[in-house]
Structure 1
Amino acid sequence: MRLRSAVGLAIALTVLCVVSIGCGAYAVYADWTTWTLMGRLLSDPGAVGDADLGRGESLILLAASVQSKALIVTCVVFIVWFHRVRTNAGVFASGSDKAASGAAVGARFVPSAKLWLPYRIAATTWESSRPLRADGGYRSFPSTLVNCWWGAFVAARVLGWCGGLAYRLAESPGAVRYTATAMLVGDVLDIVAAVPAPLFALRLTAMQRTKSAQGPVVAAVHL
């Protein structure tokens, strides 16, 4: 087993996260437009025409389409990067974690585990990748980035899924306005999650790069 550079993947993931933030901002605008539109409809039905309603629905559908496509591409790159750094961590601390590197990919597709296993793997990978100090001890790298990223990501996914389902089932202006609120909060959390994600990726990649340069590692090459 040998180390493989994750620098290019981390940079690509950073770019995609910036794109996702832009898509999230557009989704927030669509949610806010729908929320205010439903508020006007509830207070004065005659002030809202069919064209306004059609525009609001088009905004929501376009935002959902753009956001889902960006999310898919970002997730694909993230999974490849995640598998790469997990494999590297296995070289740094062989046998220290029972979770195989393949779980870094498979965990995201197991419904009952995808909200917990990736976080556990990320946390153990972070710990295994800490560089050494001059005295031989491990340098301190708080896992705040891991916790903030995963917490915001899970909250955004749950709210987004619930809001999207409720929007499809909503039949009254009040119900649509309520679901728009849930989607708005979820999309804001998406933006929040997209900020620590590349910071986490770049920091972890840099940690592994530093650790690989500190001395020989069994069956490894420098990143």
Structure 2
Amino acid sequence: MSAVPAGPPVPSPDAGPVLSGVRLRSAVGPAIALTVLSVIFIGCSAYAVYADWTTWALMQRLVSDPGAVGDAELSRGESLFLLASSVQSKALIVMCVVFLVWFHLVRANARVFAQGADRLADGVAVGARFVPSANLWLPYRIAATTWVSSRPLGVDDGSRRFPSALVNVWWGAFAAARVLGWCGGMAYSLAESPGAVRYAVTTMLVGDVLDIVAAVLTPLFAIRLTAMQRTRSAQHPAVAAVRP
């Protein structure tokens, strides 16, 4: 990696300033899009929670009195559950795509602010989510490093304090929701009795509630980190002209 030039970089008419071959890029647009999609996903997850609870109550009635639930009611309950799961899954995929775009941008910007702080390549921020097992801890490591690298400079000790609890709770809720959703889905597909279905939807209900928690925290994390990088860029002479 080349050394930082002694003087300020010459601005380009169609590109931001470059520091050691890395270009700052705006993450504001993806952060706004991610916020909108998070709200939509919260609505889809709330619908999934309703479907989970409806199915749980139906299975509870079936366990207590098998003759109290007819075939038509069972069919409607199953259709509601499957529809809610499908809608939620599609919304999650769209939100994750936009999140990955935003995540790649802020990770690349963080490497400008703290060069050498993390040896993982920028592409790992995207690819880590598709690696089995690693997708539960590697993205968290990248997010935590990006958060620390993007902290604005303070007046006294050189670093303004920004708590990392938001990162920890956000990723913990997201990872737990994914695990519970997978376990509940497997249990549902293998269930052969009302009691087994009730157990499966209970697991999925808890996972869907955690999905809502993670979806609430996702835009908070994105907006806060984007704002931190915007402030940090104003404090860095070499990149002051670009506000991510």
Q: Does 1:66 align with 2:87?
A: yes
Specify which of 57, 65, 68 is matched with residue 44 of structure 1: 65
- Do the aligned partners of 1:30 and 1:59 also contact (CA within 8 Å) in 2? yes
Aligned equivalent of 2:230: 209
Deviation sequence 1:130-178 (CA, Å, 0-9, x none): 0012346110001011000000001000000110111011010111111
Other-structure match for 1:7: 28
CA 1:198 to 1:218, structure 2 compared with 1: closer, same or farther past 3 Å? closer
Partner of 2:211: 190
CA 136–4 in structure 1, closer or farther in 2 if over 3 Å, else same: farther
Select the residue among 107, 110, 124 that pairs with 2:131.
Answer: 110
Deviates more, 1:133-142 or 1:122-131: 133-142
For residues 37-66 of structure 1, the C-alpha deviation after alignment (integer angstroms, 9 at most, x for no partner) is 011111111110011100110011101110
How far the C-alpha of 1:196 sits from its partner, in A, is 1.0
* CA–CA separation in structure 1 for the residues paired with 2:236 and 2:134: 36
Counterpart residue number, 2:37: 16
Q: How far apart are residue 217 of structure 1 and its match?
A: 2.8
Identity of aligned pairs, percent? 79
Count of matched residue positions in the alignment of Structure 1 and Structure 2: 223
TM-score (norm 2): 0.89
8 Å CA contact 2:49, 2:209 repeated in 1: yes
Task: Verify: 1:81 aligned to 2:83, yes or no.
Answer: no
Over the aligned positions, Cα root-mean-square deviation in angstroms equals 1.3
Q: Which residue of 2 aligns with 1:154?
A: 175
Q: Which residue of 1 aligns with 2:15?
A: none
Equivalent residue, structure 2, for 1:94:
115
Which residue of 164, 168, 183 corresponds with 2:189? 168
Higher relative contact order (CA 8 A, sep 6+): 1
Residue 179 (structure 1) aligned with residue 203 (structure 2): no
Q: Deviations over 1:62-100 (max 9, x none)?
A: 011100100000000000100000000001111111111
- Separation of aligned partners in 1, 2:64 and 2:156: 69
Specify the structure having the higher radius of gyration (Cα). Answer: 2
Shift of 1:34: 0.5
Task: Tell whether 2:162 aligns with 1:141.
Answer: yes
Secondary structure in structure 2 of the residue aligned to 1:213? helix
Letter in 2 for 1:71: L
Is the Cα–Cα contact under 8 Å of residues 92 and 217 in structure 1 kept in the other structure? no
- Output the amino acid matched with 2:131: V
- Can you give the 5+ residue segments of structure 1 that lack an aligned partner in the other structure? none
Amino acid at match of 2:35: T
What is the TM-score with the length of structure 1 in the denominator?
A: 0.97
